[in-house]
Structure 1
Amino acid sequence: MTAPKRLPPWHEHFRLPSGRELLIRPIRPEDAGPIQGAFGLLGPEEIRHRFLYALKELSPEMAQRLTHPDPNTEFALVAAEPLPPGEALVGAVARAALVPRTRDAEFAILVSHFIAGQGLGRHLMRKLAKWARSKKLDRLYGDVLDTNLPMLALAQSLGFKRVREGDGSGLVRVVLDLNEEP
């Protein structure tokens, strides 16, 4: 009997309650094409919740930037089919980036409506917090549209606190104090 094959760091299999098997892994340059292709499957509200404004397509430049994070200051994961990068359909992207001259990181997350509501967003947010803690940061934060109630509820359930709202922008900043116990 052979030992199970060990996955590289930040790689793991994730089974959704629906039975669908995903591979969570760091984003790769080869993911640019599938992410651009899947962008058209997103609804306008999903796009607005993630990008905070209407966007018709993900330009090649935006896809290039997203799939080439700076390993010193950025961390990005995808939840994709368990196929090689470039062939796998990507259903979710989670990203954190260090904020220059601070001990903070800003997060962004997008989970396709095809697989939303099955615990994947929660799992990815925990991974971003784990990465931020490994960098010895103080805070992980994100700006969320005040109409994005599922994201606001998720953030609250994970210990994020609302620190800014009501300024007329329609955004709520949610902040996780990384020095508190998870």
Structure 2
Amino acid sequence: MVARNRLPPWHEELRLANGRDVLIRPIRPDDATTLRAGFELLKPDEIRQRFLYAMKELSQEMAHKLTRPNPKTEFALVVAEPLPPGEALIGGVARASIIDGTRDAEFAILVSHYVSGMGLGRHLMRRLVRWARGKDLERLRGDVLESNQAMLGLLESLGFRREEGDSPGLARVVLDLQPA
């Protein structure tokens, strides 16, 4: 019998268009240090598009919270070098969180300019949708800057629609997960 190299759930090895191998996997507590270090490599516009405001650093407290999602209500994946957590440089993060008292989840994605344009945003969003459907949620939603046309186009191609948002300059995007 041939032994197969099986990866744990939600783990995928990918080779990007630039030849770089990455591992997509759930975020781990050991990622906090490298997540903070990688934050310094991001461009200000990348940070603003993800967090919707400017930040100079990712605090230790925020990194701690991001790397310890509640498995019942939150899901987070990273795009990392194929090295152990805590050593691997992280090039992307995707996260979904169930909104209290609803059957909706809110998403956020950040893909570094070092690996953008290689289909990772689409790949990560599809994984978030799969997780949300597995939780039997009704909707997946997020707020995206109106100026982030690449992300808005990607979401539209995946079936998201725009709704009236709460803040000027932001587009609320929603994907209905239940069949009509």
TM-score clears 0.5: yes
**Residue of structure 1 equivalent to 2:143:** 143
**Residue of structure 2 equivalent to 1:175:** 174
1:2-151 correspondence runs (5 A): 2-151=2-151
Amino acid in structure 1 at the alignment position of 2:57: E
Which segments of structure 1 move beyond 3 Å, counting only runs of 4 or more?
A: none
TM-score where L is the length of structure 2: 0.97
Q: Secondary structure at the match of 2:97?
A: strand
Amino acid in structure 2 at the alignment position of 1:87: E
- Label 1:137 to 1:148 Cα distance change in 2 as closer, same or farther (>3 A): same
- Label 1:141 to 1:168 Cα distance change in 2 as closer, same or farther (>3 A): closer
Q: Secondary structure at the match of 1:70?
A: coil
Amino acid in structure 2 at the alignment position of 1:137: L
TM-score where L is the length of structure 1: 0.96
Q: Structure 1 vs Structure 2: percent identity of aligned residues?
A: 65
1:4 positional shift: 2.1
Over residues 112-168 of structure 1, what are the superposed CA-to-partner deviations in whole Å (9 max), with x where a residue is unaligned? Answer: 000001000100000000000000000000000101111101100110000125x65
* Structure 2: runs of 5 or more not aligned: none
Q: Secondary structure at the match of 1:64?
A: helix
Q: How many residues align structurally?
A: 180
Q: Secondary structure at the match of 1:31?
A: helix
- CA-based RMSD of the aligned residues comes to 1.3
- Label 1:6 to 1:49 Cα distance change in 2 as closer, same or farther (>3 A): same
